């Protein structure tokens, strides 16, 4: 698969606001929600649909409805910022959770929680705002694959080239949807220019 960069002007406007160091947590949460909606809509634009007949106030007509059910899997904790927009767009979506915590010395992620529904015949959307080293995303998608989804998408706000390379090496069948591919990682494995620690900025910690 490939990487899809969402270059819609509104997406890039919201990303710029998220990058600004003086954006307070309340505004940061709002911009993150709006940008996440755009990323989700772009990533899921190829969802199948089925024809249905509906009765309007005037007459019967043909319409369509979604032809596949969704499971959204946020990587805790920052991924929770992208869950609410998914629930708003797709109220009948199922939700799974993967908890991964990065060791700041090794930059590797360790799992501390995982609860996933059966995904047979469903589309899975893994969401994590920052695709840095790619380790957390790769581990999460490996866990998701054990639940037999029909298709998996990885959606992030900002991605580093190093993380993209690792992720696609591990999961060449999974498309990445992101708002930006940044310059790379610093010595502490943080994305540059990035937007700082997404979870800390989101929750004001």
Active site residues: 102, 106, 197, 200
Residue 67 makes CB contacts below 8 A (sequence gap 6+) with 47, 48, 49, 50
Structure tokens at 41: 């809509």
Crossing angle of helices 25-43/9-19, nearest 10°? Answer: 150
Radius of gyration (Cα) for the chain, nearest Å?
Answer: 17
Q: Cα–Cα distance between 192 and 180 in angstroms, integer?
A: 11
Q: Which of 96, 89, 91 is nearest to 42 (CA)?
A: 89
Q: Which residues contact 28 (CB under 8 A, 6 or more apart)?
A: 18, 201, 202
Integer CA distances (angstroms), 136 to 59, 71, 197, in order: 51, 18, 15
């Amino acid at each position: 698969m490939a990487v899809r960069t969402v270059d819609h002007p509104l997406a890039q406007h919201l990303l710029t606001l998220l990058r600004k160091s003086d954006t307070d947590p309340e505004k940061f949460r709002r911009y993150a929600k709006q940008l996440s909606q755009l990323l989700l809509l772009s990533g899921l634009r190829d969802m199948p649909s089925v024809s249905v007949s509906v009765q309007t106030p005037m007459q019967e007509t043909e319409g369509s409805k979604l032809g596949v059910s969704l499971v959204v899997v946020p990587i805790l904790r920052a991924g929770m910022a992208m869950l609410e927009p998914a629930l708003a767009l797709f109220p009948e979506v199922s939700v799974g959770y993967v908890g991964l915590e990065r060791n700041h010395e090794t930059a590797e992620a360790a799992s501390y929680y995982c609860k996933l529904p059966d995904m047979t015949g469903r589309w899975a959307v893994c969401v994590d705002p920052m695709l840095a080293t790619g380790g957390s995303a790769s581990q999460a998608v490996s866990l998701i694959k054990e639940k037999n989804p029909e298709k998996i998408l990885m959606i992030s706000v900002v991605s580093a080239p190093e993380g993209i390379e690792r992720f696609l090496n591990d999961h060449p069948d999974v498309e990445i949807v992101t708002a930006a591919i940044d310059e790379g990682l610093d010595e502490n494995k943080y994305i540059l220019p990035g937007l700082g620690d997404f979870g800390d900025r989101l929750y004001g910690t």
